[in-house]
Amino acid sequence: MNKNIAIFASGSGSNAEKIIQYFKARETAQVVCVFSNKSDAFVLERVQKYNIPTQYFPLKDWKQPEPIIQRLREFKVDYIILAGFLLKIPQVLIDLYPNRIINIHPALLPKYGGKGMYGKHVHEAVIEAQETESGITIHYIDENYDEGTTIFQATCKVLPTDTPDSLAEKIHLLEHEHFPKVIEQIITTK
Ligand code: GAR
């Protein structure tokens, strides 16, 4: 059955856009809404051309998420995808969507996860530690940051010449290649 996906994103939204494009060309699922905790997140602008409803919710709504839950119900959302979403997901949402909230993290968890480890901070830490490998982790969300069950990982080399920016580029390429396909695999095998 065709599934409805909500995307939560806080930033630029390149992953959100790839997921939207991927499912536009398929019949397994569609992205029905994009929510953000940042009123000025570029993702809200970026997805406008796809005519997908977007909504900004202030911090208080992410703490007491009744208004968000109501909108998810209206959109009949089956899965929530966190595509660069930087707030903790409230327990009530996790309980409503058990194993149906999926996050992507720009490192090989359990390394370089946890509070404060997002976006560029992750790549800075990886380079600082002189790692020779990094990658992406796609995982289910539980109540702790970056600690749910891992679904998928892919790796890339970190060269001595890499900077946080060049590593971020490699990681984004991996994310764009794998995230939509892994989402599809999960929602079509459940
Ligand atoms: C992505 O690299 C994603 O893995 C990361 O934020 C970036 C968002 O990029 N997420 C985290 O760090 C979560 N802890 P995008 O806005 O271009 O999709």
Using one digit for the tens of pLDDT, what is the confidence trace for 87-119?
A: 999 999 999 999 999 999 999 999 999 888 998
Percent pLDDT > 70 in the chain is: 98
How does DSSP classify residue 149? P
Q: Is 84 in the pocket of ligand 1 (CB under 6 A)?
A: yes
The Cβ of residue 43 has, within 10 Å, a number of other Cβ atoms equal to 26
pLDDT at 145 over 70: no
Q: Give yes or no for a cis peptide into 110 (omega within 30° of 0).
A: yes
Q: Whose CA is nearest to atom 17 of ligand 1?
A: 14
pTM above 0.85, yes or no: yes
Which of 15, 112, 121 to mutate for ligand 1's pocket (most ligand atoms within 8 Å of CB)? Answer: 15
**Quick one: which of 98, 105, 97 has its CA closest to 15?**
105
Q: Is 134 in the pocket of ligand 1 (CB under 6 A)?
A: no
Please state whether beta strands 150-157 and 133-140 pair in parallel, antiparallel, or not at all (unpaired): antiparallel
pLDDT digits (tens, 9 = 90+) for 7-43: 999 999 999 999 999 999 999 999 999 999 999 999 9
Calculate ∠ Cα 152-155-131, nearest 5°. Answer: 130
Beta bridge partners of 35: 8, 55
Rounded to the nearest whole angstrom, what is the distance from the C-alpha of residue 86 to the centroid of ligand 1?
A: 8
- Residues 43-85 have pLDDT tens digits of 999 999 999 999 999 999 999 999 999 999 999 999 999 999 9
